[in-house]
Amino acid sequence: MSKQRVLSGIQPSGKLTLGNYIGAMINYVALQHEHDCYYMIVDLHAITVPQEPAALREQSEAVAALFVAVGLDPAKAAIFLQSHVRAHAELGWIMTTLSYMGELERMTQFKDKAAGKDAVGAGLFTYPALMAADILLYKTKLVPVGEDQKQHLELTRDLAGRFNHRFGETLVVPEPFIPKVGARIMSLDDATKKMSKSNPNPGSYIALLDSPDDIRKKISRAKTDLGREIVFDPAEKPEISNLMSIFSQCTGKSLDEIQKDYEGQGYGTFKKDVAEAVVSVLEPIQRKYADIRASGEIHRILKDGAERASAVAETTVREVKEAMGFVLPARD
């Protein structure tokens, strides 16, 4: 594959989970070696639901440190906060004006988040237009994400096409880059729901900063299907299939290999091995995370990342505004 522009983002709203890591971050790290990568902490997206200021600040820095801890190299990939690059808010507004109410109403993530609430913020509704702007600003080709973001990516593709059709070829139509195994890591207590940091039961998810003992406990208590065979069959055996996906991504073993290795062995042995595999992936990440937080280096990394990102994003916004007929400010 030739060198491509890559962009993705994670919300700083609560602890990151093993789902974020397997569905998205493993690919962030893999892509940085060959491609031109931009990874951001989407703080402007986080405020589409109420955030406590101190918590937003802490979590934004924590996610930035986790980006480095999982193996992103700030010399290769630009790591930055969305709010540091003003072009996001600017193109976000432009994309909002290009979006139709009907297409935003169809977004399943909006429907899920708005369900049962009396007051739903307008920002939650227009969120996918801001996400489209995030991607289109960088003329992004590949967007590493988990399965749940696919529909937002489709909308982004539609908006890019609509813009180009109306105003001339300006934006690049992006593609989702979704892992073959682990695109949707499920909750440990209910394999019909995706693993999520917003689940009120902490036993349902593994946070990247959970202690090894907590990880062992959570996996040993994870719900399992009837029977005792370790076979990958998401329809009939969703819980064990979920643990197999986790194990596969933490060890590099294929699902077939795992199935063969555990033939005739029960869930107990398998769960112990899954727990140890997760611990051995997360322990070094946690050590590195502690070092980065202690070093205070994260502010410099974010400043440098925002400068690199702004240079690209500002150019695109200028092109977009020019194509649309805005009078551009004179350059000195």
User: Using CA atoms in the order 15, 4, 73, 176, what is the torsion angle rounded to 10 degrees?
Assistant: 10
Residue from 4, 5, 6, 9 that binds ligand TYM (CB under 6 A)?
Answer: 9
User: Using CA atoms in the order 233, 235, 236, 238, what is the torsion angle rounded to 10 degrees?
Assistant: 70
Fill in the per-residue mask, 191 to 230: x = in contact with ligand TYM (CB under 6 A), - = not in contact.
Answer: ---xx-----------------------------------
Query: How many CA atoms lie within 13 Å of 223's alpha carbon, on the beta-carbon side?
Result: 15
Q: Does 184 bind ligand TYM (CB under 6 A)?
A: yes
| Nearer of residues 12 and 74 to ligand TYM, judged by Cβ | 12
Nearest residue by C-beta to ligand TYM?
23
Residue whose structure tokens are 């930035």: 64
Residues of this chain, 132-171, that bind ligand TYM according to CB under 6 A = 134-135, 143, 145-146, 148-149, 152
Active site annotation includes 194: yes
One-letter-per-residue 3-state SS of 156-218: HHHHHHHHHHHHCCCCCCCEEECCCCCCCCECCCCCCCECCCCCCCHHHCCECCCCHHHHHHH
Backbone angles phi, psi at 234, to 5 degrees: -55, -30
According to the annotation, is 112 in a ligand binding site?
Answer: no
Fill in the per-residue mask, 40 to 79: x = in contact with ligand TYM (CB under 6 A), - = not in contact.
Answer: --x--x----------------------------------
Active site annotation includes 321: no
According to the annotation, is 154 in a ligand binding site?
Answer: no
Active site annotation includes 271: no
Residue from 4, 5, 6, 11 that binds ligand TYM (CB under 6 A)?
Answer: 11
**Active-site residue identified among 139, 194, 218, 271:** 194
End-to-end CA distance of the chain: 40
Q: How far apart are CA 163 and CA 168, in angstroms?
A: 7
Output the known binding site for L-tryptophan.
134
The footprint of ligand TYM (CB under 6 A) covers 7-11, 19-20, 22-24, 42, 45, 131, 134-135, 143, 145-146, 148-149, 152, 183-185, 194-195
Active site residues: 113, 194, 197
